Amino acid sequence: MKKDIQIPKVTGVSMAIVKEYNNEFQCDDWNAYIINNKNVDIEMILIVSKGYNENKQIETAILRHKIEKLPAKSYAKVELLLNDVIKLSNVFNVTFFEENVMYDKKFLFKKGMINDGALRVISLLNKRGILIK
């Protein structure tokens, strides 16, 4: 049954981990964002995230997020990543609908990818972070 379901390739949607200063707690935070760089809105976005190490001896809780609608050329903050979590590999499974067609993609930030040396300007966010397309 699964093999009969055709899920098209995802383009124009990315995930980013951004380092931002938190004025309330006066510290730097790492936040995950979903970015819709398409010219159309995407809807019913479901994001399932988890952190783990290579041998899966350490795993975080599975977090689930839902965004009803993400307009074209926009972004939304998904979650805060604690310092212990950024030391792990972090995976974000994203499922969404675009014009009544379902799309699905896994975004993997491997262990060691999330660090200050990897930060680059992400144009749509106008912030520094690590981007996976």
pLDDT at 76: 98
Contact 73, 60 (CB under 8 A): no
Give the model's confidence band at 57: pLDDT under 50 very low, under 70 low, under 90 confident, else very high: confident
**Residue 1, pLDDT above cutoff 80:** no
Total-model pTM: 0.92
Q: Kindly list the domain boundaries of the chain, sorted by start residue.
A: 2-107
Contact 133, 15 (CB under 8 A): no
CA 40, 43, 48: angle at the middle one, nearest 5? Answer: 125
For domain 2-107, say whether CATH 2.60.120 is its number.
no
Return the pLDDT at 2: 65
